[in-house]
Amino acid sequence: MGTHDPLTDDELEALDSFLLSEACDDDALAIDEAHGFLTALLLPPSSQTDEQWQTRIWGQPKFADDAQRERMAGLLQRLHDDIQASLVARRDFEPLVIEMEEDGELVEAHEGWCFGFMLGVELNPELWESLPKNEQELALPMAQLALLYSEDDNDMDEDEYLDWVDLIPGAVMGLYSYWHRS
């Protein structure tokens, strides 16, 4: 298996459990947030080292042993590489979202992914602010849905929410195309 192999559901669950465990800092990102964060870092050419983005995702983890450190770092790197491979191949982009139970139904929650995405944007504000207006507007779906993550007062109805969600894949690929015109 190469580094571009997508993580299995079990591997995603193991990485998410680790990120949310006491081994990681309190402000470590959950798996959906980490995916959004990495996506935002990978859209423009980035100067972030592996160690810098890993630290931003999980802080200074206290690994049980070297085997756990290697496994978790490997899973996180594969998550990064899979997002990058998807962008480079210009495949249909799929944000990694979690499912939550709401009123007895399973619903996909995109807020965490969008929150992580906006954290990634915040690492390079000058770069994002230098985008032409049309490209800046591509980040609007992520910005709007990220607000839901931190606001208790949510007056967005389900149709508006789904309209923003539908724009995410095209927005991500549009931003990637802007920065990687060839």
- Tens-level pLDDT at each residue, the chain (182 residues): 344 688 999 999 999 999 999 999 999 999 999 999 999 999 998 778 899 999 999 999 999 999 999 999 999 999 999 999 999 998 789 999 888 887 888 888 899 999 999 999 999 888 999 999 989 999 999 999 998 877 665 678 889 999 999 999 999 999 999 999 85
Can you read off the two tokens belonging to residue 150? 């931190």
The span from the first CA to the last CA of the chain, in angstroms, equals 30
CA distance 124 to 177: 18
Q: Where do runs of H (alpha helix) occur along the chain?
A: 9-19, 31-42, 50-58, 66-88, 111-123, 125-129, 133-138, 140-150, 158-179
* Domain boundaries 9-179, corresponding CATH code: 1.20.120.740
The pLDDT score that the predictor gives to residue 98 is 86
Q: Where are the domains of the chain?
A: 9-179
**pLDDT value for 68:** 96
The verdict on pTM exceeding 0.75 is yes
> In terms of Cα–Cα distance, which of 175, 159, 148 is closest to 93?
175
